[in-house]
Amino acid sequence: SDHDGTALENSSALRQMKKSVYRYNICNGLSNQLLYHSASIAIAASSNLRVEIPDYYIVNGVQETSADVLPTGRNSVPFSQVFDSKHFLAQMHSLGIEATFVTFDFTKEQIQCAGMGDVKKADEQIMLQVIKAFKPSPSMQTIIEQIKESFGEDQSDVICLHHRDGKDWHDHCKRWKAASDVDGIYRGNCLSAPGQSFVRSLENRGLT
Nearest to 102 by CA among 1, 179, 208, 206: 1
Q: Is the pLDDT of residue 207 over 60?
A: no
CA distance 70 to 36: 12
67 three-state secondary structure: coil
Helix, coil or strand: residue 72: coil
For residue 206, pLDDT over 80 is answered with no
Cα 69 to Cα 74: distance, rounded to the nearest angstrom: 12
Cβ-proximal residues to 59 (8 Å cutoff; 6+ apart), any chain: 75, 76, 77
Query: With 70 as the cut, is the pLDDT of residue 114 above it?
Result: yes
Q: How confident is the model at residue 194 (pLDDT cuts 50, 70, 90)?
A: low
Query: Which of residues 189 and 85 earns the better pLDDT score?
Result: 85
Please report the pLDDT score of residue 106 as a whole number.
93
* The total number of residues written for the chain in this structure: 208
pLDDT value of position 196: 72
